[in-house]
A and B are shown apart, each in its own frame.
Chain A
């Protein structure tokens, strides 16, 4: 059994518009082990989003090899990719992407809806409730997104990402739409999930968010320019205490 969840070998993504050739991802080789917590950073245009789309099997590389959990993804068709995403990858988006006017529980059930073989209704509901409890929303199972705060909505989205027990959770700027305190809470949740053994890969352009991760990869012009273990890792619990203290200080003065 291969311990690496992701193995990239000279991965390329080239866009052609007319005569202009854009190498969005230009030869990325990378291994990500099970249980890792990786931040991918870079300015816009660095190719981090394109890489993320390929990691998420939403896009196919132009060249190179991508092994997801030992499966060569480059050779799969659209519907096989769908199946792979359904079973092995959980997505968390910047803008949550929850279905409106649909309860938290039903939102979390969504991936199970498309799982083949079919998951019976009762199991779907059961697993959705468990996932929501895991993210601390056991009390808000039947609220609709518009009745939830931004942080709570992102938790529902994380529960949705977890419900099918994926190999990998991909988060694209998960705190981009959240305030500082809520960002800390969400990152705390990711840290807790990672501690429980789930592999997390996160795209962000904020250093203080990347600081929560175990490993930081920096991209520029479609290449990895830095890939190192995060020596100065911070933890959500500490950050919350710091924030509380500074707020208290502010209100006193």
Chain B
């Protein structure tokens, strides 16, 4: 009874041994055949890992903007390209901003923004950087802590004070290791007192360095630096996630009313929801990842055909061996199993090497700053599953061919 139960298992084990030996005998051939599957699995695993890394990075960048953000962009009233976005012709006024603050309850904080690029001069050095005019709420909205010093106040905003909070990169460029707080920086020949220094935040969406900037009150930026009357955009923080779309609708209605847009006319502003950006970017990267993974998966198919080819060669080469085995008592299923195990061993072994290589690629990619690709268990399971399936699928036909051989003809095969 026990014999009857253990016997099939033992036979599989023994047959596996024969298969291993046959593969070892043709090392070069086995390796070359395996290469197809190895490359396929390695690319699937590494592409999936890189895709996950990219997604994670984008998510980090989106959440580094702060949470529950809406951004209102002004559309130029004139369609003249030269004046588009110049700030002189914007239609989002500070009065609009005030109205939103007053009337939309769910708005927790907001900051109109004016940006310009200018030379900052300090400490005998010169550095071209982004000057961002913002409100005192800006750091709250962006969830951006100060390394030292403080943010400017409402009072300083009202008085268009010449105060500045400096980004870590800009500080390093201008002051080196020195503390910038209390120093003076000249922007467009106008002295600003540095009252705070920002923590480092790294690259933002699109890869721009968020740490290379000087933040000043938007009133100061508009009146003293650019002369613009309108903010280019307004960043708003909504008090909770659930209220995002309601707030978006409310602001749209309010602005349409204030801009006297009758029904049927298009908005002269854009409202972008942070979550929407994240979702869009996410779905794009996910689609791309699966697309690339699928293309890489095709090479598994090609690898499988390679296995089938080599198994057919192997069956033909070993015709006499097969004949001999059948003559001395091998059952057709013993022969089938022998060749099937051979092809499965080949494909699984290739799969394992492929997974290891994929890990390697993924590990190498972690050397890219702020990039953390990770190999998911799912992709390993899938890679192994597909390798196994490829081994069975492409090994079955040659194995059946071997099992169905006529022993008389096989024994005489030259």
Mark A residues whose CB is within 8 Å of B.
53, 56, 58-59, 78-79, 82-83, 85-87, 91, 93, 97-99, 101, 110-111, 113-118, 160, 164
- A99 to B25 alpha-carbon distance, docked (Å): 12
Which are the 7 A-B pairs with shortest beta-carbon distances?
A86-B329, A111-B328, A114-B329, A97-B324, A118-B7, A114-B330, A79-B331
| 10 CB < 8 A contacts A-B | A79-B332, A83-B329, A86-B328, A91-B328, A97-B324, A110-B325, A113-B330, A116-B7, A118-B7, A118-B11
- A70 to B333 alpha-carbon distance, docked (Å): 27
B189 within 8 A of A: no
Using a CB-CB cutoff of 8 Å, which residues 291-346 of chain B contact chain A? 320-321, 323-334
Contact residue among A78, A101, A118, A160 (Cβ-Cβ distance under 8 Å from B328): A160
Q: Are A110 and B324 in contact (CB under 8 A)?
A: yes
Q: Are B408 and A93 in contact (CB under 8 A)?
A: no
Q: Are A118 and B6 in contact (CB under 8 A)?
A: yes
- A85 to B323 alpha-carbon distance, docked (Å): 13
- A87 to B328 alpha-carbon distance, docked (Å): 9
B411 within 8 A of A: yes
- A86 to B11 alpha-carbon distance, docked (Å): 15
Q: Are B3 and A101 in contact (CB under 8 A)?
A: no
Q: Are B323 and A97 in contact (CB under 8 A)?
A: yes
Contact residue among B328, B332, B407 (Cβ-Cβ distance under 8 Å from A110): B328
- A171 to B11 alpha-carbon distance, docked (Å): 29
Contact residue among A58, A99, A111, A114 (Cβ-Cβ distance under 8 Å from B407): A58
Nearest opposing residue in chain B for A111, CB measure: B328
B381 within 8 A of A: no
Closest CB in chain B relative to A5 CB, distance in Å? 18
- A207 to B377 alpha-carbon distance, docked (Å): 72
- A93 to B326 alpha-carbon distance, docked (Å): 14
Q: Chain A residues near B334 (CB, 8 Å)?
A: 114
B10 within 8 A of A: yes
Q: Are B408 and A111 in contact (CB under 8 A)?
A: no
Q: Chain A residues near B6 (CB, 8 Å)?
A: 118
Q: Are B321 and A99 in contact (CB under 8 A)?
A: yes
Q: Give the secondary structure class of B's interface.
A: helix
Tell which of B6, B321, B327, B334 has the most Cβ of chain A within 10 Å.
B327
B190 within 8 A of A: no
Q: Chain A residues near B407 (CB, 8 Å)?
A: 58
Q: Chain B residues near A79 (CB, 8 Å)?
A: 331-333
Q: Are A82 and B329 in contact (CB under 8 A)?
A: yes
Known: A58-B407, A58-B408. A87 touches B329 (CB 8 A): yes
Known: A118-B7, A118-B11. A59 touches B408 (CB 8 A): yes
B116 within 8 A of A: no
B14 within 8 A of A: yes
Q: Chain A residues near B14 (CB, 8 Å)?
A: 113
Q: Are A118 and B10 in contact (CB under 8 A)?
A: yes
Using a CB-CB cutoff of 8 Å, which residues 195-210 of chain B contact chain A? none
Q: Are A114 and B327 in contact (CB under 8 A)?
A: no
Closest CB in chain A relative to B111 CB, distance in Å? 78
Using a CB-CB cutoff of 8 Å, which residues 9-36 of chain B contact chain A? 10-11, 14, 25
- A56 to B325 alpha-carbon distance, docked (Å): 14
Q: Chain B residues near A111 (CB, 8 Å)?
A: 328-329
Q: Are B324 and A99 in contact (CB under 8 A)?
A: yes
Contact residue among B7, B11, B329 (Cβ-Cβ distance under 8 Å from A85): B329
Told that A82-B332, A115-B329 touch, could you supply 9 new A-B pairs with CB distance under 8 A? A79-B331, A82-B331, A83-B331, A85-B328, A87-B329, A101-B25, A110-B325, A117-B3, A118-B3
Nearest opposing residue in chain B for A160, CB measure: B328
- A86 to B324 alpha-carbon distance, docked (Å): 11
Q: Chain B residues near A56 (CB, 8 Å)?
A: 327
- A128 to B332 alpha-carbon distance, docked (Å): 24
- A130 to B360 alpha-carbon distance, docked (Å): 52
Tell which of B11, B328, B332 has the most Cβ of chain A within 10 Å.
B328
Closest CB in chain B relative to A164 CB, distance in Å? 8
Nearest opposing residue in chain A for B14, CB measure: A113
Contact residue among B4, B7, B326, B411 (Cβ-Cβ distance under 8 Å from A82): B326
Q: Are A91 and B327 in contact (CB under 8 A)?
A: yes
Q: Are A85 and B3 in contact (CB under 8 A)?
A: no
Q: Chain B residues near A116 (CB, 8 Å)?
A: 7
Q: Chain A residues near B411 (CB, 8 Å)?
A: 58, 93, 97
- A98 to B323 alpha-carbon distance, docked (Å): 11
Q: Chain A residues near B10 (CB, 8 Å)?
A: 118
Q: Are B329 and A53 in contact (CB under 8 A)?
A: no
Chain A proximity mask over B377-414: 1 for CB below 8 Å, otherwise 0: 00000000000000000000000000000011001000
Closest CB in chain A relative to B183 CB, distance in Å? 81
Using a CB-CB cutoff of 8 Å, which residues 121-170 of chain B contact chain A? none
Q: Chain A residues near B331 (CB, 8 Å)?
A: 78-79, 82-83, 114
- A93 to B324 alpha-carbon distance, docked (Å): 10
- A79 to B328 alpha-carbon distance, docked (Å): 12
- A241 to B221 alpha-carbon distance, docked (Å): 121
- A229 to B11 alpha-carbon distance, docked (Å): 45
Closest CB in chain B relative to A148 CB, distance in Å? 17
- A87 to B329 alpha-carbon distance, docked (Å): 8
Q: Chain A residues near B4 (CB, 8 Å)?
A: 117
Nearest opposing residue in chain A for B414, CB measure: A95
- A164 to B326 alpha-carbon distance, docked (Å): 15
Q: Chain A residues near B327 (CB, 8 Å)?
A: 56, 58, 85, 91, 97
Closest CB in chain B relative to A216 CB, distance in Å? 24
